Every structure is written in structure tokens, then in C-alpha cells.
Amino acid sequence: MTAKLRLTTAQALVRYLGAQYIDVDGRQHRLINGIFAIFGHGNVAGLGEALEDATDTMPVFRAHNEQAMAHAAIAYAKASRRRRVMACTTSVGPGATNMVTAAAVAHVNRLPVLLLPGDTFASRLPDPVLQQVEDFSDPTVTANDCFRPVSRYWDRIMRPQQLLQTLPQAIAVLTDPVECGPVTIALPQDVQAEVFNFPESFFEIQIHRIARPGADERALQQAAELIASAKRPLLIAGGGVHYSNAIDSIEKFATAHAIPVAETQAGKGALRWDHPASVGSLGVTGTSAANKLAEDADLLIAVGTRLQDFTTGSGLLVRKPDCKLLSINVARHDLNKRGAIALQGDADRCIRDLSAAIDSVAVEIDWKKRVHDLRVEWNTVYETVTAPSDADLPSDAQVLGVVSDVFSSNATVVCAAGGLPGELHKLWRSSDANNYHVEYGFSCMGYEIAGGMGAKMATPDRDVVVMVGDGSYLMLNSEIATSIALQQKITVVVLDNRGFACINRLQMSLGGKGYNNLLDTSYGATDSAPAIDFAQHAASLGAHAEKVPSLSELGPALQRAKDAPHTAVVVIDTDPLPSTAEGGTWWDVPVAAASDNDAVKDAYRNYQDKTSERT
């Protein structure tokens, strides 16, 4: 007779998760490395009770905001290259729906996170319970149905024994190279506490390995012939390069065949910034080097990228009539975008197999020289835009230059939304593959500080510096306190430009006059806008905090923050208007087709010209 264990649903869930391991390069680690938890009536008596006696296998981390703790879990997975995962549990109602935005972040960025929101009663006997969302026509619907479109796998456990089917499926999604993303398992509060005799074998240790599927031999040969005949090739490194651990194979491939490498936001760090093949970022937030090469290339080799609008200049930068596009991706969904020739398989394995199949590539001498010259030209741009000036307030680029000098090695920069990701994509000089961590798939304001904490938890031996605008800071700053409580030291640099400067610049570039974005133009009279002391606020959360009056004093302040024993915040006022004009390409943002504003009319004519190029 099969041995049984009499456990509650919650106890069985926790025990099963604690038995899951992952093999990474021959070394075994726990797959689920802890759970962020904010308890409420929907999870404290069930899952809370189960976790209390399992902290050796499932450490519990108390957070201050449900969305933020899920961001931290997502950042942990990103910094772990999708090899390690965190879980998050909340109560029913607002605690659960607070995580929906974070689930979308994980979904868009293809990052694994396990979400365990509490739910209403499966029995429905006490309905409607506190915080229950009632659907008048469907009593099976709860707030947790909001997770359905932003989850890769979703289930609601109505009976304890359903875990026997659901949990293996959930783990399979979290470790799948294609399906990888957020998993939501809704847990009705009565079912959490119910018991079942689970097979003891269900809780045996399981070791998982990330699959590395190879490409079809015929497709591989076609791709090899395509690359070998290319005279002006350009490789585009996406996030899949990192998640496949293809950094070494990309570097060897680029070096051996003199193929320049451009990077997406998720792919940045595929090559060191000073590698001869590195031409920097591509697309709307790209360097002039990468974008000029993309315009003249006869072959673009897109590796592990979704080819979204910022990468492709809304479709204008890639797929020129005389340029072929080869897409190498493990995910079928991404393979055929922009009319690409498809090579489906693991990025690292495909690049290695292509290297073995190619003797040489017919790269023109002039192409090699152009790569060199454009690199020199862009490095001159970098020195110019990051250099101090006589302006009253520094630009984001100038602040970035100082931050880069202080955190030049064994550091990770974290950012997410606003104008900073664009400046970082162009200007941050990645010194290694783990040096750059920017969430720009969903571009979620509020990810930054929580994400920095998650990155620190995943890479405790690195300095983590978070660059955040005042707008994002105001949206979600509570995990400063959590990072101190958990002894996860990060350095936060707050660039205070008095509002949402990035969108203000976009608004003005499209003919608008600029309103409802900067604080001083959003509330009527200028003096009605709040004067916010970010340093004092951060200090009230327990951080070492200071505001510097000028760019010249930023470096020493950052060094003090770097040396501080716990989370430190440095604040500096910046100019909301300038951004790095050099580099970059067009981005499709529709302009009003009818307006009394002459500036809008001019912008619309320019917009028509650009869209006509695409069609």
C-alpha cells in the first residue's frame, strides 16, 4: 500500500515546493527560494500556518506592498537568469489584485514567478465574504480571475487533491524555456485548511533541468549558408542570450566572424562595452553606431528577441527591402515576426551549432572599418553628453556618467520606466553580463526600488544601484524599508526633475504645449505644486539619505552611499528638458490628424511622412 501523509492543502503545497530543485551547470539549487508574504484573512490561517513550520525549506519575507514584493520576486528571477524563482502570497481582494500589474510585468518579460493569492470560499457558505468581488451573473468569478490574461498558467484549487495535477504543471511552466512566465494558483481560504491523504511519493525531491532544444538540421544549414554569404551582417542580442547563458558563444561567434553585435534592452551586456564587436544599443533608444549599421546591413541575425517596436523603430529600422532577417529563438511565437527566416532552438545551442557549420563569413573589409569608425564616433558622443557643463541643473546623462564611474565594476544598475531607461540603454557601459538590469518590456513605474532589492537577493556579492525618477519613487518606495529589514543593501539614486519629464518631452515633440506632466504645470498656480524632500522621506524609512546640491558633489555622496552599511538614497535635482539627441530612431506614436495648433499640424505631417515609409 502506498504510504500517505495527512496534510492540509496549504501544508502539502509548501512541502511540495520545498522538494523542487534545479540543476544549473551540474550544481543543484532549490528552485523556489522563498516566499514574499503579506498576510490577511484570506491566507493567514491556511498558508500562514503551513509556512510557520517550514521556514527551513521555504523562507518567508515580509514586504510592505503586494505589487512591490512581486516586482522583487520577478527581479530575483531575472537576475538569476530564470534559474531560480520566488513565490508570493496575499490575502483575497485588494492584496491579490495589487499583484496583477506585477503579473503583467512577468508575462511580458517572460520571467517566472509563482503567485499564490488567497481566494473566497469554495463552499460559498459565507458569501459574500470581506473583500469579495461579486459577479452578478457568474458566482464562480472572483477577483483572482483578473490574473487569467497575465498568467502563463492559472488555476483555482477547489479540492485538496487537485494539487496532485496542478503543481507539476505549474513547475513545468516555471522551468520551460518557451512557456516561462507567471503562474497563478488561487487558493480559496476554506480549501487551504482542508485535509487530504497525499501520497508520500508526491513529496520526493525532484530535480529539474532547463531544456535546450536544437534546431532542425535543414533550417540550421539554411541559416549557416545565409550567414556565410553575408557581406554586411549585424547580430541583435536579445534577452534570450542571457537566459540561455549564451554570452560566451555569442562573443566567440562575433569575434571569429567579425560580426558586430547590437543589443536590445533585455540583451544589453551580451558583450562588454569595449569589445571590438560591440556597437551598443539598437532602436529608438539606440546608439548611432548600431542604428546606422542596421540601416545598411544585408543580414540581421536576431537572437532571442521579441523584435518589439523600440528595438525595430516601429518596423522601420529592420526589414529593409535588400536586407534579410534571420530570427533565432526558442519560442515559435517570436520566430516569424517582421517576416523573418526562422531558426527555432535554444540560443546557445544554435549559435554553437552555427559556428561549427560555418567556415568563414564573407564580411566586407569596408564593413569592418565602418564598425570601428562608428564605435569611435559613439564613444566621442558618450564623453560629450556625460561631461559636466555650466548648466544650472545636470542632465540625466551627466548623472549617469558619475554613477557609472563610482559603480564601475561588480555592480548592477536597475531601472524601469521614464526617460532613464533610454539614457541607460544608450550610455551605460556594461562591464559584464550582470551589470545591467532594466525592465523595459512592460516599462512599469514602481519596479525600480523593489526590483533592486530582488536583484540584490539573487546576487548578494554585487553592489546594486537603482536609478529612479521622482515620479517612480513617489509611486512605489515602500521596499526601501523592506530592504533594510531584510538586510538587502541597495543604493538608490533619485533624479528629481519635478514630474514625468519623459512624457512631457514626448508631448512637446508631438506638438503639445506640455501640461499635466511636470508638477509646476499640473496644478494651476506654480506655488500649488508640492515641494518634496525625498532625502528626508527616505531617511524616515530608515535609509542613509542625503541630497546633493550639484553634480560635482554627487561622486563623493555616491561613495558614502556605497560604503553605508544599509540601504542608502542619494537625491539630485535634474533638468527635465534635455535628453541625449544622438542615436535613436523613429517611434510610432500617432499624432492628432486634426488640430488648431500649428505645431500639432507640423508634427502630423512629419508623422505621415514616416508612416508612408513603412507602408
Helix axes 288-296, 365-386, angle to 10 degrees: 150
pLDDT above 70 covers a percentage of the chain that reads 99
Amino acid identity of residue 513, one-letter, is K
For the domain that residue 156 is a member of, what is the CATH number? 3.40.50.970
pLDDT at position 528? 76
- Give the end of a domain, one of 151, 180, 208: 208
CA 237 to CA 494: how far, in whole Å? 30
Are residue 417 and residue 312 in the same domain, yes or no? no
Answer yes or no: are the C-beta atoms of 60 and 10 closer than 8 Å: no
Residue 509 lies in a domain: yes
**544 strand-pairing partners:** 568
Domain of residue 272 covers: 217-377
pLDDT at position 529? 81
Cell numbers for 275:
569589445
State mean pLDDT over 455-470.
Answer: 98
Confidence of residue 321 (pLDDT cuts 50, 70, 90): confident
**DSSP for residue 499:** B
Are residue 495 and residue 447 in the same domain, yes or no? yes
State mean pLDDT over 33-40.
Answer: 97
Confidence of residue 351 (pLDDT cuts 50, 70, 90): very high
Domain count, the chain: 3
pLDDT at position 400? 97
Are residue 370 and residue 391 in the same domain, yes or no? no
Are residue 398 and residue 445 in the same domain, yes or no? yes
Residue 581 lies in a domain: no
Q: Is the pLDDT of residue 156 over 90?
A: yes
Closest CA to 47 of 172, 186, 140: 186
Residue 548 lies in a domain: yes
**119 strand-pairing partners:** 188
Whole-angstrom Cα Rg for the chain: 25
Confidence of residue 515 (pLDDT cuts 50, 70, 90): confident
CA 483 to CA 468: how far, in whole Å? 16
- Which three-class secondary structure state does DSSP give residue 3? coil
Confidence of residue 613 (pLDDT cuts 50, 70, 90): confident
Per-residue model confidence as pLDDT tens digits over 331-342: 999 998 888 999
- Give the end of a domain, one of 208, 239, 262: 208
| Higher per-residue pLDDT: 322 or 371 | 371
For the domain that residue 371 is a member of, what is the CATH number? 3.40.50.1220
Q: Is the pLDDT of residue 525 over 70?
A: no
Q: How far is CA 373 from the centre of its chain?
A: 32
CA 73 to CA 131: how far, in whole Å? 25
Confidence of residue 316 (pLDDT cuts 50, 70, 90): confident
Closest CA to 495 of 583, 419, 407, 389: 419
Per-residue model confidence as pLDDT tens digits over 356-365: 999 999 999 9
- Give the end of a domain, one of 377, 408, 423: 377
Q: Is the pLDDT of residue 580 over 90?
A: yes
| Higher per-residue pLDDT: 510 or 415 | 415
Residue 149 lies in a domain: yes
Are residue 52 and residue 134 in the same domain, yes or no? yes
Sequence-ordered alpha helix ranges (H) in 287-391: 288-296, 309-312, 332-335, 347-357, 365-386
Per-residue model confidence as pLDDT tens digits over 263-279: 999 999 999 999 999 99
Are residue 98 and residue 164 in the same domain, yes or no? yes
Average pLDDT over the chain reads: 95
Confidence of residue 615 (pLDDT cuts 50, 70, 90): low
Are residue 73 and residue 101 in the same domain, yes or no? yes
What DSSP string runs through 39-92?
A: --TTTTTTHHHHHHT-TTTS-EEE-S-HHHHHHHHHHHHHHTTTSSEEEEEE-S
Are residue 179 and residue 229 in the same domain, yes or no? no
CA 234 to CA 146: how far, in whole Å? 41
Burial pattern 235-273, b for ≥16 Cβ within 10 A else e, equals bbbbbbbbbbbbbebbbebbeebbbbbbbbbbbbbbbbb
Number of Cβ within a 10 Å radius of residue 99 = 33
Are residue 198 and residue 258 in the same domain, yes or no? no
CA 235 to CA 213: how far, in whole Å? 21
Per-residue model confidence as pLDDT tens digits over 258-315: 999 999 999 999 999 999 999 999 999 999 999 999 999 999 999 999 999 999 999 8
- Which three-class secondary structure state does DSSP give residue 461? coil
Residue 592 lies in a domain: no
Q: Is the pLDDT of residue 322 over 90?
A: no
Q: Is the pLDDT of residue 1 over 70?
A: no
Residue 579 lies in a domain: no
Per-residue model confidence as pLDDT tens digits over 394-447: 999 999 999 999 998 899 999 999 999 999 999 999 999 999 999 999 999 999
Are residue 371 and residue 418 in the same domain, yes or no? no
Residue 557 lies in a domain: yes
| Higher per-residue pLDDT: 526 or 374 | 374
Burial pattern 588-611, b for ≥16 Cβ within 10 A else e, equals eeebeeeeeeeebbebbeebeeeb
pLDDT at position 526? 63
CA 452 to CA 481: how far, in whole Å? 13
pLDDT above 90 covers a percentage of the chain that reads 90
Helix axes 217-228, 347-357, angle to 10 degrees: 60
Q: Is the pLDDT of residue 164 over 80?
A: yes
Are residue 30 and residue 174 in the same domain, yes or no? yes
Are residue 150 and residue 269 in the same domain, yes or no? no
CA 391 to CA 50: how far, in whole Å? 58
Residue 480 lies in a domain: yes
pLDDT at position 552? 96
